[in-house]
């Protein structure tokens, strides 16, 4: 599938069953209690699994226990993959604090200007590292889905790289950027509706779950194209 086909399919995907969109929306709202957020993660994981299995319908909200466990697995994967970001942020914090301390003994204006420049560079580094990490993390989650929730599959980097190579690095990166931009636009438009009372309900109940379903369906379709290449071989 090309990028246009993936995006088109993913946009139409949630509208195949608005009832399930609303159910996911209710769980999103309930996520202020923290525990339900793992069900949201588990359901998005279920979308990936269903798509890789060739199922075009939205998955059911059954076997809640399994869905919760899948959500926990995604949370664990996210924490582990975020370690590089934590390291970079830690470096940024300590360097920044060190320069601010130095500024109290030297020319404050000169040192604070240097600190601002350094912080800007480090924020750019964080953005770049975050983007690279997200490329691998999404494919890691997809590989875990391919192996029916096996946690270790999220850390088989040779397989993850192989999937991305089959898709093509250029296509993979461009498609993800398109997905993120469309999701951001959707969320921005949804946020604007909050200026009226009904928007406060629409954003978490309909728009947010719709965006989640769109994003993970698109990612899964992208991964499925790499698996098709695997079968062809």
Q: How much is the pLDDT for 232? A: 40
The secondary structure of 141-157 as a DSSP string is: HHHHHHTTT-GGGGG-H
Q: What percent of the chain has pLDDT over 90?
A: 48
**CB contact set of 128 (below 8 Å; sequence gap of 6+):** none
Q: Output the pLDDT for position 129.
A: 87
Helices 3-12 & 169-192, crossing angle to 10 degrees?
Answer: 30
Sequence length of the chain is: 233
Residue 231 pLDDT: 41
Given a contact cutoff of 8 angstroms between Cβ atoms, the answer to whether 177 and 216 are in contact is no
**Res. 195: pLDDT tops 80:** no
Lowest mean pLDDT among 74-78, 173-177, 196-200: 196-200
Q: In the predicted model, is pLDDT for residue 229 greater than 60? A: no
Pick 73 or 201 by higher pLDDT. Answer: 73
């Amino acid at each position: 599938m090309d990028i246009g086909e993936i995006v088109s399919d993913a946009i139409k995907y949630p509208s195949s069953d608005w009832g399930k969109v609303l159910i996911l929306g209710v769980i999103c709202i309930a996520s202020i209690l923290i525990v339900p957020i793992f069900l949201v993660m588990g359901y998005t994981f279920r979308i990936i699994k269903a798509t890789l299995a060739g199922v075009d319908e939205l998955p059911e909200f059954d076997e809640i226990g399994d869905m919760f466990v899948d959500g926990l697995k995604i949370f664990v994967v996210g924490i582990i993959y975020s370690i590089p970001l934590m390291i970079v942020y830690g470096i940024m914090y300590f360097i920044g604090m060190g320069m601010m301390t130095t500024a109290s003994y030297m020319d404050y204006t000169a040192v604070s200007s240097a600190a601002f420049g350094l912080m800007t560079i480090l924020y750019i580094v964080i953005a770049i590292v975050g983007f690279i990490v997200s490329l691998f993390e999404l494919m890691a989650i997809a590989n875990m889905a391919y192996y029916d929730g096996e946690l270790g599959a999220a850390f088989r980097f040779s397989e993850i790289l192989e999937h991305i190579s089959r898709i093509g690095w250029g296509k993979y990166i461009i498609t993800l950027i398109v997905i993120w931009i469309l999701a951001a636009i959707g969320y921005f438009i949804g946020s604007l509706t909050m200026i009226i009372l009904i928007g406060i309900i629409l954003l978490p109940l309909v728009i947010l779950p719709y965006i989640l379903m769109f994003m993970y369906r698109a990612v899964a379709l992208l991964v499925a194209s790499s698996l098709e290449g695997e079968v062809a071989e």
